[in-house]
Every structure is written in structure tokens, then in C-alpha cells.
Amino acid sequence: MRDHQKNSLPCEQISITLQLDADVLNWFAKQGDEKTHINETLRTYMENQTRQQIQWTDIKEIKQLLAVGKFG
């Protein structure tokens, strides 16, 4: 079980139809429990993108504060 599942309320799951390239689906299927692995991969990507966006926002804010002499 992933950390987000242990430390937060369960996420609602929604059934969708998704078209994937055959080789991608086959690779996940070989890992076993492909639905879980695809979801975990997408969640990891989402969390990393969110973290990068937050860091970029922080960097831009720090640069702005440095430019006006209000940092440090």
C-alpha cells in the first residue's frame, strides 16, 4: 500500500475507458496487477509535477523578493 493510502482517506475511483499502446499495456500486465501499477505510475507523475510546480513558484517568488531587496 502506498503512503498516500496509509496517511489519507481513500481516493474515490472512477471507471473510465482508456486507450493505451499495446506494448505499454503488455509491459504493465507483465508486472502483474496492471490497474494498480498504472494508477501508481500516474499518481507518482502527478505528485512529481505538483512538487516541481511548487518549487518553480517558490524560485520565482524568491527572485522577485531579491530583485526588490526584501529577501534575506
Which ranges of 1-72 does DSSP label H, i.e. alpha helix?
3-7, 22-31, 34-67
Residue with cell 481513500: 10
Torsion angle in degrees (nearest 10) through CA of 2, 43, 37, 27: -150
pLDDT of the chain, 72 residues: tens digit per residue:
455 555 556 788 889 898 999 999 999 999 899 999 999 999 999 888 887 777 777 777 777 778 887 665
**CA dist., res. 21 & res. 26, Å (int):** 9
- Is the distance from CB of 62 to CB of 71 less than 8 angstroms? yes
Cell digits for 55?
518549487
The model carries a pTM of 0.58
pLDDT computed for residue 1 by the predictor: 43
Give the tens place of pLDDT for each residue, 20-32. 999 999 999 998 9
pLDDT computed for residue 8 by the predictor: 59
